Each structure stands twice: as structure tokens, then as C-alpha cells.
Chain A
Amino acid sequence: EAEVAQSPRYKITEKSQAVAFWCDPISGHATLYWYRQILGQGPELLVQFQDESVVDDSQLPKDRFSAERLKGVDSTLKIQPAELGDSAMYLCASSSLRDTQYFGPGTRLTVL
């Protein structure tokens, strides 16, 4: 069964450093989502792509976060500089248009 791949699974960094997360969606899925999940809460959407275009980044802290999906396939989420409050699980999901979202295993970020 096809799955969403994410790497790394775990990342520890010091504040003010740059970090990057990678996501490879299920083949053929045009829509890709990045979520952030703080411990004890549900996932919060950061950015949504349709192919290579951003369709919703209203909750993305654009002063330090950036996301790209250059060829409309895999995607990278970057944080620069990382802050203590960025410690969370970062989840990637993909879907066909207006269909079920399939989530990857996530990247657990710890900022020291």
C-alpha cells in the first residue's frame, strides 16, 4: 500500500539554527499539506499545496517558516531560525482533489 514518506523522523536542534523537513506524497496526489501538532493538541494546518502552488498558508509564520514544492511532487518545510516554541510534531499529508487525506509518520522536532 502506498504511503506518505517523511524524513527525518526525529530532529534535535538548538534555537536559532535552521532545520528542514522533507515529504514525499503518495504518487499521483496533487494536494499536499503540512501540519504542526503540539503535544496534547490536534494537528494544525500550516500550508496546503495544489500541485506546485500554495493555496493556503494563512497559518504559516512566514517570518521564519517557508515551504516549497517546486515540481509539484515532493516538498520541503524549513524553519530559520528555530525557536523553543517550534518543538512539535510536523506532519505531511497528501490527497487526490477533495478526497481523503493520507498522513505520513511525522517528524518530531525538539528545539533546545
Chain B
Amino acid sequence: DAKTTQPNSMESNEEEPVHLPCNHSTISGTDYIHWYRQLPSQGPEYVIHGLTSNVNNRMASLAIAEDRKSSTLILHRATLRDAAVYYCILNSGGSNYKLTFGKGTLLTVNP
């Protein structure tokens, strides 16, 4: 699977929007962009995924660059419960549907 690059850490204030970037310059045409997050002492949880178009769900929005070499996870109003490690993962959706996690971005939300 292609590699992603994320900042090690980011900080935000409660109730403000958060933009978490991810670079994936070697993405292939069949790679989906997935975001998972891991709250302290819990297993990872799915946040959102997309291929080419921007995506919205109840948790977040995913903005994908036109050349698909980068993407941004947007939390519209950060809460203290959003403090977590956020992982950006590429997956081609093949038969094994394997997720390769990097170190992710540790998001700190200040009250």
C-alpha cells in the first residue's frame, strides 16, 4: 500500500474547526483514502473514507485534492471527546482489505 505522511501532533481549541492534513503523493488510481481515529485506551474507530470526491458524514468531512496527492480531514467543531490519534490510510480495496497504519497525528483539544 502507498505511504502517507501526517504531522506528529496538532492542537486545537474546543468548538473550533480542525483541519488534519495527510500527504499521499504516491497514491494510485484505485486507492481509497481512509481515516480512523483512536481515543485513549480504546481500539481504532472508523471516521470516513473517499476516493475522489469530497465526503461528509455525521463525524467529519473529507476534502480530497484534485490531484489526489493530499487530503484533509475536517472536524467542524472540535470537542474534548475528539482528542485522539488520527490515522490516514490508503487502501486499494482488494480482496484482503488490509489497513496499514502509520503513527498518525495526535490531536490535543484545549478547553
Interface residues in chain A, defined as those with a beta carbon under 8 Å from any beta carbon in chain B: 4, 31, 40-45, 48, 55-56, 91, 93, 95, 97-106
Given contacts A40-B103, A42-B104, A98-B93, contact A48 B46 (CB under 8 A): no
Are B101 and A44 interface neighbours, CB within 8 A?
A: yes
Could you say which interface size class chain B belongs to? Answer: 20 to 34
Q: Mark interface residues in B79-106 (1 if CB within 8 Å of A CB, else 0).
A: 0000001010000011111111111100
| Segment with Cβ contacts to A, from B18-26, B37-45, B67-75 | B37-45
Which one, A48, A91, A106, contacts B98 given CB within 8 A?
A: A48
Distance, CA A103 to CA B41, complexed state (A):
12
Identify which of residues 17-76 in chain B touch chain A, using a CB-to-CB cut-off of 8 Å: 36, 41-46, 49
Are A45 and B98 interface neighbours, CB within 8 A?
A: yes
Distance, CA A105 to CA B39, complexed state (A):
10
27 CB-based A-B contacts, threshold 8 Å: A41-B103, A42-B87, A42-B101, A42-B102, A42-B104, A43-B101, A44-B101, A45-B98, A45-B99, A48-B98, A55-B96, A56-B96, A93-B43, A95-B97, A98-B94, A98-B97, A99-B97, A101-B46, A101-B97, A102-B46, A103-B42, A103-B43, A103-B44, A103-B45, A104-B43, A105-B41, A106-B42
